[in-house]
Chains A and B, each alone.
Chain A
């Protein structure tokens, strides 16, 4: 052990959180005896201002060069103490925390044994910190241009925010027009305003914006590089085929959803009974201004069936979220298009979660929509009506609110098909290196705190490609993604954590085991040198490659073998 080393050890009582089980003074006293330790103190709240001041003062007065804080989990306060020692002039990586709260006082009740364990953990931290190296954070340049994949309402909204801020956007849309699924809709719930008006404004602005390069009939073929420095290859298929390479710093994936294929369900007779149609087919009727049966007659009875393909263990267990309000919208639109028409709304639960939705539900009841409740596992059955029934079809439902088995007349049945991930969501996920959940929706970085980013830096998701969403939620997520990217662009440079893995090229055999293993695609293979190389901007220092490398050629900074062995030695000493 280096005789000149001056380590300060600070044992936190965390009020009584630690001190009621662990004898913190004893831990500090034991630590004081360890080689290289210049000072060891116990204090009520180390993270408090006086606590931090105490550390800073000691560094200055006693000329400490390394610090150990025995307290809570480093997830909680490592940034706090790193900042504190940095303030006192030390490199922030010359800190080590011993977790004597979550891993000791909170899980043990025997004070003697707990104190012994806390002492051992603190000793491990002292042994380890003695081997810490000062590390420097780096920054790389960031390309301010953004690639937006998908020209629906989410993609366009994100593109406009970025472009309005003065940055270049490449908006890639597979179809030959913008608008996505919203372009297939007539009116919007709950205010019954026109989807066309809403889109026209967006599309016009996008098409005319000098900062937005709209690539229609095009797909992203490949995406290379890492956050701040991606290279995307876009291939145009329609019209005059082209292949273009664009440099971008960030990517927003806004590829949307597709509707559930109603023909997968046999009991609703979709495809067999001509007047059983899907919600999107009905939207088409509405947009053409012709609500009628296949035979060209005005329907006297219209029935709407909810949760087709949704909330059903055989198809999708999740709720598609927009269908309930869309169904209520149909009730209004049918009554407006065919006065005197009776509308039955056959539902499981009415999910009216959004702003204005509950009022909309109420208004739909007031226009005498007949609401019928069926049980999740007891779906309605549609059959063709007889000549004397006075209608095209009869729907049999075990109606929950009355407890009766009833029969509803229907001339037109609208199936509220749910949303599902697009067929190529797996390829898209692979292309941009993000993950999908069990249903195929793209996974966000954190379900509550970071619903916009993904596990891959620089790749953001927006709209219904993440999960079924209505327009306000899709737009909110899209604009949030744009804001996140703008915040990054505003900083100019991209800060890269000092902790990442490095390949010792002399020892690397070029076996490429690590290439496929890396969950962040942070390791590339240099074909010329026949050696692997870690892209530090992408590396999250998980250590998978370090453990896997058969040649022992990879080292994770701040997690070197030397440091880990010292820590083990400290625990066992």
Chain B
């Protein structure tokens, strides 16, 4: 059955940052140099072609964009400046919008004004709510203790509620991702053995970013790994050890050693990335979508206010520490509530999932191929 082309799709992708796709004439230089392009995985050329033709269904079910870590070499070598690296990045944005059933991601990616408005409104509402709550039950001059302005134990309940909402959206979107890529296809839907056998890939890729390490250039991988590990460390500390984190004014080195290291890692890598995007130091920093800026701005606000409240509280400036805490929360809530399920953050789930799904898919298709080869043919082969 012939698939209808959609010449409009390429226009639609412009909002996601893919502007030069039509220049590609499929010489295959990008695929020739990409270490991930092997065998039937014609990478990144296949996705480029599907986009040019507007084969939406194919693209939606294609895991290729997630398998790219954007080292940028393909874009540098492209004889037509078709920016295959940036196209893959744009496709990841588009796929994020596709996986999201609420339509929020799509609205954010297509209009930065919508995204900024949503973030600002959420931040303001968060700020107002916490201020009202703080004044109603505590004192602005107390950071901890019985009269604490924002008692950590109670904020923690809110944290978990937020995490629940976040996980609901993110996991339901991950479910859609599975359906588009593996579920729709009978050949891969029920490959149970493979799903179990390959499960280890999920944490393996999540924690080591080992595929990124295979890119020719190692520095972007290192920066990304530090950022990710710092982020995860901080997340674990806050979700499970907030009590110790917020204690004080004495420093509890059992948690704060990790906390300070993670904060340093986050600050250093975020500043590195911001500087790179401003000065366009590397190919993968050359093009910046509004969502990339939002990601970094929220990260730097949240990290710096986190460090600030820690420092102020330990220095005895509890009022200032409380104000910093409110600002911190004004960053955290839109970041976790909006950006993780609907924005760039979602890739922390989609990318390792894609590695896992791709392995399952390859297993299932290989097994199917084997079972279809007649016995005689296999022997002669």
Contact = CB atoms under 8 A, between A and B. Distances in A.
A408 interface: yes
A365 B23 CA distance: 5
A402 B2 contact: no
Interface string A188-225: 00000000000000000000000000000000000000
Contacts of A369: 22
Interface residues of A, number: 25
A372 B50 CA distance: 12
A460 to B, nearest CB: 39
A344 B7 contact: yes
A342 B24 CA distance: 17
A473 interface: no
Interface in A358-399: 361-362, 365-372, 394, 396, 399
B5 A406 contact: yes
A69 B80 CA distance: 60
A314 interface: no
B22 A365 contact: yes
B350 to A, nearest CB: 24
A365 B80 contact: yes
Contact of B5 (A350, A367, A407): A407
A298 B25 CA distance: 29
Main secondary structure of the interface of A (DSSP, over half): strand
B331 to A, nearest CB: 40
Nearest to B10: A368
A409 B2 contact: no
Contact of B2 (A350, A401, A407): A407
A240 interface: no
B291 to A, nearest CB: 24
B177 to A, nearest CB: 22
B7 A366 contact: no
Contacts of B55: 402, 404, 406
A404 B22 contact: no
Interface string A48-71: 000000000000000000000000
A383 to B, nearest CB: 11
Interface in A323-378: 342, 344, 350, 361-362, 365-372
Interface string A401-425: 1101111110000000000000000
Interface string A285-316: 00000000000000001000000000000000
B2 A301 contact: no
A401 B55 CA distance: 13
A404 B1 CA distance: 10
A362 B11 CA distance: 18
Contacts of B4: 394, 406-407, 409
Nearest to A404: B3
Interface residues of B, number: 22
B3 A406 contact: yes
A401 B49 contact: yes
B53 interface: yes
Among A361, A368, A402, residue most surrounded by chain B Cβ atoms (within 10 Å): A402
Contact of A368 (B22, B25, B53): B22
A396 B5 contact: no
B184 interface: no
A346 B54 CA distance: 15
B58 interface: yes
Contacts of A371: 25, 52
B22 A396 contact: no
B22 A407 contact: no
Given A368-B10, A370-B5, A402 B49 contact: yes
Contacts of B24: 365
B50 to A, nearest CB: 7
A399 B22 contact: no
A405 B23 contact: no
Nearest to A350: B25
Among B7, B10, B24, residue most surrounded by chain A Cβ atoms (within 10 Å): B7
A343 to B, nearest CB: 9
A404 B11 CA distance: 21
B26 interface: yes
Nearest to B2: A407
Nearest to B6: A409
Contacts of A409: 4-5, 7
A402 B22 contact: no
A399 B7 contact: no
B64 to A, nearest CB: 13
A361 B49 CA distance: 18
A405 B2 contact: yes
A401 B26 CA distance: 7
Contacts of B5: 344, 370, 406-409
A365 B50 CA distance: 16
Given A366-B23, A372-B53, A406-B55, A396 B7 contact: no
B3 A405 contact: yes
Contact of A301 (B7, B11, B22, B25): B7
Interface in B96-112: none
A362 B58 CA distance: 26
Given A342-B7, A396-B2, A406-B55, A362 B49 contact: no
B142 to A, nearest CB: 62
Contacts of A301: 7
Contacts of B58: 404
A365 B24 CA distance: 8
Nearest to B22: A368
A492 B3 CA distance: 70
A344 B6 CA distance: 11
Given A365-B80, A366-B23, A402 B50 contact: yes
Interface string B32-58: 000000000000001001101101001
Nearest to B8: A342
A405 B5 CA distance: 10
A362 B27 CA distance: 13
A266 to B, nearest CB: 20
Interface string B111-142: 00000000000000000000000000000000
A370 B2 contact: no
Contacts of B23: 362, 365-366
A396 B5 CA distance: 10
Contact of A370 (B3, B7, B26): B7
A67 B11 CA distance: 81
A434 to B, nearest CB: 41
Contacts of A405: 1-3
A407 B53 contact: no
A366 B52 CA distance: 12
Nearest to B50: A402
A413 to B, nearest CB: 15
Nearest to A364: B22
Nearest to A372: B53
Contacts of A361: 25
A248 to B, nearest CB: 50
A344 B52 CA distance: 11
B25 A365 contact: yes
Given A401-B26, A406-B3, A406-B4, A370 B53 contact: yes
Contacts of A350: 25
Among A361, A362, A372, A401, residue most surrounded by chain B Cβ atoms (within 10 Å): A401
Interface string B9-30: 0110000000000111110000
Given A366-B22, A402-B50, A407 B7 contact: no
5 contacts: A362-B23, A365-B25, A370-B53, A371-B25, A406-B3
Given A404-B55, A405-B3, 6 more contacts: A365-B23, A366-B23, A367-B22, A368-B22, A370-B53, A407-B5
Interface of B: 1-5, 7-8, 10-11, 22-26, 46, 49-50, 52-53, 55, 58, 80
Which 7 pairs show the lowest CB-CB distances between chains A and B?
A: A407-B2, A342-B7, A402-B49, A368-B22, A405-B2, A407-B4, A401-B26
